Amino acid sequence: MEYLMTYGWALLVIVIVIGVLVYINPFKAPEQCVFDQAGFLCEKPILMAGGALHGTLINGNQKAITIMGIACIKGRTAPDGNSAAWPNYATFKKDLGYQEQIDDIGNMTDNGGNAFHVSCVDVTKGTNGVAIFPASATIVLHANDDFSGRLYVAYKYSDDPDNAVAKVVAANLVTRAQ
Nearest Cα residue to 170 out of 44, 75, 54: 75
pLDDT classification of 23: cutoffs 50, 70, 90: confident
Q: What is the pTM of this model?
A: 0.73
Flag whether pLDDT at 88 surpasses 80. Answer: no
In this structure, what DSSP letter does residue 93 have? -
Say which CATH topology domain 30-176 has. Answer: Immunoglobulin-like (2.60.40)
pLDDT classification of 133: cutoffs 50, 70, 90: low
CA distance 73 to 79: 8
User: Is residue 161 helix, strand or coil?
Assistant: coil
Residue type at 135 in one-letter notation: A
Beta-sheet pairing, 124-125 with 101-102: unpaired
Flag whether pLDDT at 27 surpasses 80. Answer: no
Flag whether pLDDT at 141 surpasses 90. Answer: no
Is the Cβ–Cβ distance between 147 and 173 less than 8 Å? yes
The domain ranges of the chain are 30-176
Whole-number pLDDT of residue 16 = 93
